[in-house]
Amino acid sequence: MSLIELKIAALAGDGIGPEVMREAIKVLRAVEKKFEIAFQITEGAVGWAGIDASGQALPDETLALCRRSDSILFGSVGLPDRDPSIPKEQRPERAALLRLRKEFGLFANLRPVRLHKDLGHTCPLQPDRQSGGIDMLVVRELTGGMYFGQPKLTQEVTEGGVTFQRAIDTMVYTTPEIERIAHVAFKAAQSRRKKVTSIDKANVLENGVLWREVVTRVSRNYPDVCLEHLFVDNGAMQLILKPGQFDVMLCENMFGDILSDEAAALAGSLGMLPSASLGATSGQRTFGFYEPAGGTAPDIAGKNLANPIAQILSTALMLRYSFGLNAAADAIENAVSQAISSGLRTGDIYTPTDSSARRVGTIEMGSAIASGI
Ligand code: NAD
């Protein structure tokens, strides 16, 4: 078998970013030993680390590194207490994250939510609501809809001698935008339990009617995948009542923003949740941006307390969705599952009432997962 060589830009960022990135790279090195893959991992400064190094949240050389890489493995950026005089547009959350999303045309956000059977205590739902397990993937359209549609403005209006303000946001979707994200959802479902639940508000919104029509049409290319439609209000309710019914949940931008956070809460801790944002596909590869769903967690940074699992699972998403390396991705996910089954717990998923659980730090958790590959 020939060696697959992949160029990864590793941008750890701020707070717990460097600690959890170190463990993710440790796991990728273990994957290299087991599979015929070579990772060329180059680290770049981003966030406050970028500002400190060269005055920009996304330094030019980091952007150049990303452009010559096959994918970006990202930590997180932003430290709320750092220099409040720096305007929002130059702060890392906007200047780095939004810029990267735009630069690489990241139009699909994928958030898997899986509750490990031994971590039921971290889920806010009663055990009977968790029955059948929680293992779903939220696929969210990321570049269209209400967040970007024009016109978008606040204006002063005078009517009947009374002056007031009016805010306008516009929800716009085109057929190609819906088709593109629907294909992502159906393809993802093919490697899962083969069910897509499409979320819309077709009973009220024109966008919802078009969304439903286009998704139904795209589904005909995937006869092995079962499609169902839910109105967004019912979808929000069903997530809490019977989350086990969902495999892939397909949402437009705003509904996905809300429902992906609702779904995330079911997994108990932000430290368990990876996320992928996908851009264009060329040949067998899809450019992607992979990061933990949580932020920089300044409250626990630098103390070996952070859960590295979200960052480690981000590497599994990268191997699966950017490079189609499903066996290597499975190996990472199984090693995470094994570490939890063996009782290892970082503080965020630890409970003293579980006598088989052992509290460990970031480094020990990362090492256990790496040796489980
Ligand atoms: P946060 O996600 O950083 O932290 C919220 C809570 O979750 C904290 O109690 C934290 O300790 C905990 N937590 C998060 N990740 C964890 C992990 N891996 N292990 C254990 N516990 C974990 O959210 P916040 O405090 O609102 O934001 C802090 C900073 O992060 C802000 O500047 C914010 O803008 C930024 N942020 C960045 C991103 C990103 O880079 N994509 C995302 C969200 C927030």
HEC letters along 194-222: CEEEEEECCCCCHHHHHHHHHHHHHHCCC
Q: Which atom of ligand 1 is nearest to the CA of 311?
A: 18
Give the confidence band of 90 by pLDDT, cuts at 50, 70, 90. Answer: confident
Helix (H, G, I), strand (E, B) or coil at 107: coil
CA distance 128 to 349: 20
Residue 106 CB contacts under 8 Å (≥ 6 apart), including other chains = 100, 142, 143, 277, 278, 279, 288, 289
User: Strands 37-43, 4-13: parallel, antiparallel or unpaired by DSSP?
Assistant: parallel
Q: What are phi and psi of 323, to 5 degrees?
A: -120, 0
Q: Do residues 195 and 287 both lie within one domain? A: no
pLDDT at 221 over 60: yes
User: Strands 71-76, 195-200: parallel, antiparallel or unpaired by DSSP?
Assistant: unpaired
Task: Verify whether ligand 1 is closer than 6 Å to residue 135 (CB atom).
Answer: no
Domain that holds residue 368: 1-122+268-373
CA distance 56 to 112: 32
The pLDDT tens digits of the residues spanning 260-307 come to 999 999 988 899 999 999 998 888 889 999 999 999 999 999 999 999
Q: Do residues 237 and 291 both lie within one domain? A: no
Q: How confident is the model at residue 4, as a pLDDT?
A: 86
Q: What are the DSSP calls for 40-72, one per residue?
A: EEEE---THHHHHHHS-SS-HHHHHHHHTSSEE
Are 138 and 260 in contact, with CB atoms under 8 Å apart? Answer: yes
Read off the CATH number of the domain in which 155 is found: 3.40.718.10
Give the confidence band of 1 by pLDDT, cuts at 50, 70, 90. Answer: low
Q: Do residues 92 and 19 both lie within one domain? A: yes
The pLDDT tens digits of the residues spanning 154-209 come to 999 999 999 999 999 999 999 999 999 999 999 999 999 999 999 999 999 999 99
Q: Do residues 232 and 320 both lie within one domain? A: no
Give the confidence band of 84 by pLDDT, cuts at 50, 70, 90. Answer: confident
Q: Do residues 166 and 223 both lie within one domain? A: yes
Task: Verify whether ligand 1 is closer than 6 Å to residue 93 (CB atom).
Answer: yes
In this predicted structure, which of 3-7, 308-312, 342-346 has the lowest mean pLDDT?
3-7
Q: Do residues 88 and 188 both lie within one domain? A: no
Question: What is the domain count for the chain?
Answer: 2
Quote the ligand 1 centre to 140 CA distance (angstroms).
21
Q: Which atom of ligand 1 is nearest to the CA of 13?
A: 40
Q: Do residues 297 and 354 both lie within one domain? A: yes
**160/355: higher pLDDT:** 160
Give the confidence band of 98 by pLDDT, cuts at 50, 70, 90. Answer: confident
Give the confidence band of 86 by pLDDT, cuts at 50, 70, 90. Answer: confident
Are 268 and 115 in contact, with CB atoms under 8 Å apart? Answer: yes
- Nearest-CA residue for ligand 1 atom 5 is 297
Task: Verify whether ligand 1 is closer than 6 Å to residue 144 (CB atom).
Answer: no
Among 206, 235, 266, residue at a domain's last position: 266
Q: What are the DSSP calls for 248-272, one per residue?
A: EEEE-HHHHHHHHHHHHHHTS-GGG
Q: Do residues 132 and 245 both lie within one domain? A: yes
Q: Do residues 113 and 170 both lie within one domain? A: no
Q: What percentage of the chain has pLDDT greater than the value 90?
A: 86
The pLDDT tens digits of the residues spanning 113-146 come to 999 999 998 999 998 998 889 999 999 999 999 9
Is the full-model pTM beyond 0.75? yes
Quote the ligand 1 centre to 108 CA distance (angstroms).
22
Q: Do residues 176 and 309 both lie within one domain? A: no
Q: Do residues 139 and 261 both lie within one domain? A: yes
Q: How confident is the model at residue 149, as a pLDDT?
A: 93
Give the confidence band of 42 by pLDDT, cuts at 50, 70, 90. Answer: very high
Residue 301 CB contacts under 8 Å (≥ 6 apart), including other chains = 14, 15, 16, 19
Q: How confident is the model at residue 366, as a pLDDT?
A: 98
Quote the ligand 1 centre to 168 CA distance (angstroms).
31
Residue 80 exposed, middle or buried by CB count within 10 Å (0-12, 13-18, 19+): exposed
Q: Can you read off the two tokens belonging to residue 248?
A: 């892939």
List residues with catalytic annotation. Answer: 147, 201, 233, 257, 261
Task: Verify whether ligand 1 is closer than 6 Å to residue 77 (CB atom).
Answer: yes
Task: Verify whether ligand 1 is closer than 6 Å to residue 78 (CB atom).
Answer: yes
End-to-end CA distance of the chain: 20
**314/3: higher pLDDT:** 314
pLDDT at 2 over 80: no
Count the alpha carbons within 13 Å of 45 in the hemisphere toward its beta carbon: 13
Q: Do residues 63 and 19 both lie within one domain? A: yes
Among 234, 266, 298, residue at a domain's last position: 266
State the chain's mean pLDDT as an integer: 95
Reply yes or no: is the peptide bond before residue 274 cis, omega within 30 of 0.
no
- Nearest-CA residue for ligand 1 atom 36 is 295
Among 241, 266, 291, residue at a domain's last position: 266
Task: Verify whether ligand 1 is closer than 6 Å to residue 296 (CB atom).
Answer: yes
